[in-house]
Amino acid sequence: MPNLASNIHAQPESLTRTLHHQCKDGALAMKHAATLLRSGKKIVITAMGASLFASIPLQYFLCSLGLDAVAIEAGELLHYLNIAWKDAVVLLVSRSGESVEIAKLLEKMKGKVPIIGVTNEPLSQLSRSADVSISIASLNDEMVAIQTYSGTLLTLHLLGNLVADSFDAAAEEVRTLLPSFASLVEASMKTLTSWGAFLSPSATPYLLARGPSLASAHEGALLFHEVAKSSAVAMPIASFRHGPVEVVDQNFRGFVFAPQGPTRDLNLSLAHDLVQFGGEIRLMGPSGSQVRDARWCDLPSVSETLAPLFEIVPLQAAAFQLAVLRGIEPGSFRYAPQVAVDEASFNQ
């Protein structure tokens, strides 16, 4: 079995480890971090790549609590948006804790603002330098962020609920849903070939979402890039309606995310229109209202901020199968290192 497939299959075990850690050995760090987040006039969440995308649901959740929270890519925060972190509580998220942008931000921020670090490497620079260090406690991935991505989603979901004084209920909900998550992983990897009729080696998939599911759209596009070496576009649904919809024809392949939430009907309306325009659509969410000629990837009905944990699994499988269709070893890297420690060169 390719290592990427092993990483996908191991996610239920990895999430169980992460949940146990945040409820036991990691509980004190989580509580300290939640206290800091509650105390801040504003909260800046910053990361790169998959870690940034995994932070999106937390941003939306904190804003729903009335907190001033924003997620900013670490490279942009480093070079252009310095003013954004002044007087903020800063949450730095990095799988390795050693990414070059994170390391440089630590140098700038240390001693000037409270820093919360979230990383899977407890001996990393981020873990050592942060005022509060949260360990994701996930199983390690070979290259592509799979277990560490879902582990980061879960850790930040629990952290947000700790800020909201709903940690115990959130942890119990996740514990109850883990068997469904395991079943989804198994089913997704058993039906890989079903993607063959939808994914074309030459087509560019569009991943369209609103709210916390933008995490899944962006991470899904990243998976197509990294795993299958394929172009892919992630975009907010509202933005797609303002012009980019002109790309739709019979060759269009789109994923439309429709979790339970206030904009579900708007998202389904877009899917209906895209089918009418000739596109092929996969709906990501709990099946419900039928959209003629659009197929559902049926997912458990959970809150919008937890939905990305489930939404990403079919996309992991889809990216894996597209790599196979393109004759590529799924998840093998040609240029990028697992940890980027140089901003200027890939020759590290």
- What is the reported pLDDT for 333? 85
DSSP class of residue 260 equals S
> Taking 70 as the threshold, does the pLDDT of residue 342 lie above it?
no
- What is the reported pLDDT for 294? 85
Cα gap 16→28, rounded to integer Å: 19
- Lowest mean pLDDT of 184-198, 266-280, 286-300, name the range: 286-300
Specify the 3-state DSSP secondary structure of 41.
Answer: coil
Answer with the residue of higher pLDDT: 205 or 331: 205
Per-residue pLDDT band for 229 (boundaries 50, 70, 90) equals very high
> Taking 80 as the threshold, does the pLDDT of residue 336 lie above it?
no
- What is the reported pLDDT for 200? 86
> Taking 90 as the threshold, does the pLDDT of residue 197 lie above it?
no
- What is the reported pLDDT for 108? 96
- Lowest mean pLDDT of 199-208, 209-218, 283-292, name the range: 283-292
Question: Could you read off the pLDDT of 234-270 as tens digits, one per residue?
Answer: 999 999 999 999 999 999 999 999 999 999 999 999 9
- What is the reported pLDDT for 348? 59
> Taking 90 as the threshold, does the pLDDT of residue 346 lie above it?
no
- Lowest mean pLDDT of 7-11, 116-120, 324-328, name the range: 324-328
- What is the reported pLDDT for 203? 87
Cα gap 53→255, rounded to integer Å: 17
Summarize the confidence of residues 318-330 as an average pLDDT.
95
191-325 placed in CATH 3.40.50.10490: yes
Per-residue pLDDT band for 2 (boundaries 50, 70, 90) equals low
What is the largest distance, in Å, between two alpha-carbon atoms of the chain? 57
In the chain, the percentage of residues whose pLDDT exceeds 70 is: 97
Distant-in-sequence contacts of 221-226, Cβ < 8 A, 24+ apart:
222/49, 222/50, 222/53, 223/144, 223/312, 223/315, 223/316, 223/318, 223/319, 224/318, 224/319, 224/322, 226/143, 226/144, 226/319, 226/331, 226/333, 226/336
- What is the reported pLDDT for 45? 99
3-180 placed in CATH 3.40.50.10490: yes
Computed over every residue of the chain, the mean pLDDT equals 95
- Do 3-180 and 191-325 fold alike per CATH? yes
- What is the reported pLDDT for 332? 84
Per-residue pLDDT band for 206 (boundaries 50, 70, 90) equals very high
- What is the reported pLDDT for 42? 97
Question: Could you read off the pLDDT of 128-158 as tens digits, one per residue?
Answer: 999 999 999 999 999 999 999 999 999 999 9
- What is the reported pLDDT for 235? 99
- What is the reported pLDDT for 331? 85
- What is the reported pLDDT for 81? 97
How do the domains of the chain map onto residue ranges?
A: 3-180, 191-325
Amino acid, res. 258: A
Summarize the confidence of residues 73-83 as an average pLDDT.
96
Strands (E), 54-198: 69-73, 89-94, 115-119, 132-135
